[in-house]
Amino acid sequence: MHIALLGPDLFPAFHDFARALKEVGARVTGIGSTSAGRLRAGLKRHLDAWEQVPSPFDGALVARAVARAAASKPIDRLETVEERLVEAAAAARRELGLPGLSVEAAKLCRDKPAMKEALRAAGIPCAESAAVASMAELEAFVERAGFPLVLKPRAGLGSLETFRVAGPAELVRAAGRLGVTRGQSAAVEEFIEGHEGFYDTVSIDGEPRLEFISHYYPSVLEALSDRRIAPQIAATNRVELPSYGELREVGRKVLRAFDIGTSATHMEWFFGPKGLKISEIGARPPGERIWDLYCVGNDLDLYRSWASAMVLGRVEDRPSRRYATGSVQVRPDREGKVVAYQGLDEVRRRCSAAIFAHEIPPLGRKTVPIAKGYLANAWFRVKHADYDVLRETMSWIGRTLRVEAG
């Protein structure tokens, strides 16, 4: 098969997808805005050809690049693993008659208010929500749903520019940040109290062939509110327990309702006093190199499993569930440059057997704002056969290590 991969030049984390496609026997043409001469070696060695486009976000330009690539050998599939390129790839597929995620499904996976409407229409529990483009519309939603609420971009990525709003003053500030006061459209949602996590799959024809469940400690918005928090992501190895049965079944309903087909998926959820609520679904892998956690915990190459689903239409791997895995980040006490670490030697001594990846910025390096995600500043990735011990280990690291900046 000849696979066109859109946007693999955007992040080094995407190189593994090109590598995996080659390993299952595909011819791989990359498409992106980088010139061929400036491609990273880690990507270039996995490509058979490269097509440069002025903008990978323009479906018509992508379609022309795919058509050029097809001159040497017809293209069988056009894929992307970048959230912001999902709609451009779908538009190009429609123009070229290629299989894969449809334009309609791609829009549902990007437009938060439309996504919530589709979830409710399918009988899937989710927060009350609306699209708003004025303070009058926003205030009407507040009248119905009350405070607190969440205001965010209609097609935002992760938690970027997402605001928890507790009262009128915060509402005006958040609306100004998102342009609602100037007529720009945003998504507003009922704030759902509870524990937050995500459900990820590699699915074929809408049915999960591999599935994984992870948890945030604490919720993402809470973690962003205080740099003293050492936020954790924990991937459980207890996926088959009955306590996860409702989540797995609802996840399957979402995949069928959105007609996602053959794809990697990433679904965010909350569980609290109002029960299970689905936050959003993406037709892509999760960010933050979460798949690396799944690979280590389950003795598999998930990138190759994804490639097998794309190229061969099957996934033969089975997750071992040998380890629960997690990621814990320790933030500097202020912005500036790293000047000292307290407790680092103790962390290394006690946790060396559990740590399988980490980054400790050298002294003198500039700190990274906490809004940049879970793989910034000092972080550790750990594993353990017992999920509860994994959590205790990450919590202990968060309590013990101190990063001082000046």
pLDDT band at 156 (very low <50, low <70, confident <90, very high): low
**Window from 151-155, 169-173, 314-318 with minimum mean pLDDT:** 151-155
**Structure confidence by residue, pLDDT tens digits, 12-44:** 999 999 999 999 999 999 999 999 999 999 999
Close Cβ partners of 210 (under 8 Å, ≥ 6 residues apart): 201, 202, 302, 305, 315, 317, 319
Q: How far apart are CA 61 and CA 55, in angstroms?
A: 7
Number of H helices, E strands in the chain: 14, 18
User: What pLDDT shows up at residue 160?
Assistant: 67
Strand partners, 357: 381
Percent of the chain with pLDDT over 90: 96
Mean pLDDT of the chain: 96
Is the backbone of residue 183 left (phi > 0), alpha (psi -120 to 50) or beta? Answer: left
Mean pLDDT, residues 338-345 taken together = 98
Mean pLDDT, residues 253-259 taken together = 95
User: What pLDDT shows up at residue 155?
Assistant: 80
pLDDT band at 60 (very low <50, low <70, confident <90, very high): very high
Domains and CATH numbers, the chain: 2-100 (3.40.50.20), 128-190 (3.30.1490.20), 195-405 (3.30.470.20)
User: What pLDDT shows up at residue 159?
Assistant: 58
| Cis previous bond, 218, omega within 30 | yes
Mean pLDDT, residues 60-86 taken together = 97
- 338 pLDDT more than 60: yes
User: What pLDDT shows up at residue 245?
Assistant: 98
User: What pLDDT shows up at residue 161?
Assistant: 83
- 327 pLDDT more than 90: yes
**Side chain identity at residue 171, one-letter code:** L
Of these ranges, 22-36, 112-126, 155-169, the one predicted with the greatest mean pLDDT is 22-36
Q: How far apart are CA 137 and CA 176, in angstroms?
A: 14
User: What pLDDT shows up at residue 240?
Assistant: 97
Mean pLDDT, residues 294-316 taken together = 98
Strand partners, 215: 197, 234
